Amino acid sequence: MKYDAEVIVIGAGPAGCAAAIPLVQAGHDVLVLERKATEDGEDITSGELLAPQTQFECAQLGIDLSAAWLLDRVHGVRNVYPDLSWTYHAFPDGMSYVQVDRGGFNAALRTRLVEVGGRLVWGVRVSDVAIQPDAAVVRTTDGGEYTAPLLIDAGGRHSPALRSLGLKSEDPEFSQIGVAVFFESFADTPLHTWDRHFYGHHGAMISGSRIRPGLYRYILETDLADKQATRLKPVEFYESVAKQHDPWICERIMREPRIGDVWAMAPIGYRVAEVARDRLLLAGDAAGYLAPLTGQGIEFAMRMGRLAAGAAQRAFAQRDFSAATFAAYVEGRADECGTAVTYLRHLLHHLRDRDALLRAASDDDLRLQIFGPIAAVVSDRGSLLKECHQ
């Protein structure tokens, strides 16, 4: 059978590029189909951070980590507790998270893909995928069709394979809503710090930081059921949570100049029944998503893209594209998800316990138990009460 490529990748985002680039470098003919017609330009709609491990994944792909799309670096975290006391925890020397312009980041990944010899086709809207005995078939809305021995779907939470094969389901355990608001300024926000405000009520927290000069983001994450119990719009719900729990945040979100659109998503979490079938691998958000609290969005997507590339190379070496050949990929992702689920359950349990959070402000052992090694050493402490009503 004549194929259009050895591997077709749906989606030229972090997961898709992380899968495609090493496959091209290994000598495979890879065709990447991207839904968008062109690059977006600057995109800070959700406000994203690259974790240290994500920066490592980027470096492994040959991505320049001194580019203009990298914005403020985050060198520590401030935990604000229900009584507005706070502890600050500096990261170890040499460790930082970095804010990114997601549009610039995606463009850098795609540029690297083309540099190494990958084929990238813009403006392809996939309507359906089908797995046949001798090929994976991708059909497009304009009547086109692409075939390959192997398909990697990295098309995100609305991936064509999830839709075509009915693999996606809601996650009742982690049913949350996220609402982010952007500001031109945000008085007294500590620079180069991720500012996390915990309330001990249904897992609610508001957190944020400066992204770059003139742009700040603060995002609410809480149980979706709380939002559904009201008739409020997302931004009104955001404001109501701040008013109920956090006068410091509330004063600032009501007076500081807002910029751009409000970003809202619900439900955030979902599960995927299978991440591998004959001639098919799912990677990135197409393989499921838990919650931003894990801090692993882009990192997880890129790592799974890399593992998918490894699974694909083994399949080509064996000339076997059956689901059984992808067992190591399935097991590796299950291990990653198991760790993330355990951590998320642990953290949400404590974020719903107001008394435990209050004790954690002064109890070093409890704070370490809740937040892990990142909160082990207190670099500074104080209270925001004196900054309210100013």
CATH (domain of 109): 3.50.50.60
So what's the pLDDT on residue 244? 97
Does an H or E element contain 145, and which? strand 145-148
| 369 burial via Cβ count (<10 Å: 0-12, 13-18, 19+) | middle
Contact indicator for 241, 204 with CB cutoff of 8 Å: yes
**Residue at token pair 């590796």:** 332
Contact indicator for 243, 250 with CB cutoff of 8 Å: yes
Same domain, 33 and 131: yes
So what's the pLDDT on residue 390? 52
So what's the pLDDT on residue 39? 83
Nearest to 181 by CA among 295, 99, 259: 259
User: Would residue 88 count as lying in a domain?
Assistant: no
- Give the residue, 32 or 41, on which the prediction is more confident: 32
Cα–Cα distance for residue pair 249/117, rounded to 1 Å: 49
Cα–Cα distance for residue pair 9/92, rounded to 1 Å: 38
User: Would residue 221 count as lying in a domain?
Assistant: yes
CATH number at residue 203: 3.30.9
Same domain, 184 and 324: no
One-letter amino acid for residue 360 of the chain = A
Same domain, 223 and 283: no
Residue 230 has pLDDT above 70, yes or no: yes
Same domain, 366 and 320: no
Query: 40-49, 231-240, 308-317, 345-354 — which is least confidently predicted?
Result: 40-49
User: Would residue 59 count as lying in a domain?
Assistant: no
Query: pTM, whole model, 2 decimals?
Result: 0.93
User: Would residue 190 count as lying in a domain?
Assistant: yes
| Token pair recorded at residue 239 | 């404001």
Cα–Cα distance for residue pair 224/267, rounded to 1 Å: 7
CA distances from 288 to 81, 93, 178 (A): 31, 33, 17
| Token pair recorded at residue 10 | 């749906």
Q: Which domain holds residue 22?
A: 7-43+101-170+269-345
Question: Could you tell me which residues are beta bridge partners of residue 194?
Answer: 77
Query: 130-139, 200-209, 329-338 — which is least confidently predicted?
Result: 329-338
Number of folded domains in the chain?
Answer: 2
Same domain, 33 and 107: yes
| 204 burial via Cβ count (<10 Å: 0-12, 13-18, 19+) | buried
User: Would residue 371 count as lying in a domain?
Assistant: yes
Give the pLDDT confidence of 311-329 residue by residue, as tens digits. 999 999 999 999 999 999 9
Give the pLDDT confidence of 258-287 residue by residue, as tens digits. 999 999 988 888 889 999 999 999 999 999
Peptide bond into 172 cis (omega under 30): no
User: Would residue 56 count as lying in a domain?
Assistant: no
Same domain, 28 and 152: yes
Same domain, 112 and 211: no
Same domain, 243 and 181: yes
Same domain, 109 and 243: no
Nearest to 106 by CA among 28, 50, 158: 50
Question: Could you tell me which residues are beta bridge partners of residue 8?
Answer: 31, 151
User: Would residue 53 count as lying in a domain?
Assistant: no
So what's the pLDDT on residue 296? 63
Residue 145 has pLDDT above 90, yes or no: yes
Measured in whole angstroms, the distance separating CA 143 from the mean position of its chain's CA atoms is 32
User: Would residue 230 count as lying in a domain?
Assistant: yes
Same domain, 242 and 369: yes
CA contacts within 13 A on the Cβ side of 264: 14
| Token pair recorded at residue 373 | 């090694």
Same domain, 105 and 252: no
Same domain, 335 and 366: no
pLDDT, average across residues 63-77:
94
Q: Mapping DSSP to helix (H, G, I), strand (E, B) and coil, where does residue 78 land?
A: strand
Residue 291 has pLDDT above 90, yes or no: no
Tell me the backbone φ, ψ of residue 164, rounded to 5 degrees.
-70, -35
So what's the pLDDT on residue 27? 98
CA contacts within 13 A on the Cβ side of 29: 7
Cα–Cα distance for residue pair 167/139, rounded to 1 Å: 18
So what's the pLDDT on residue 144? 95
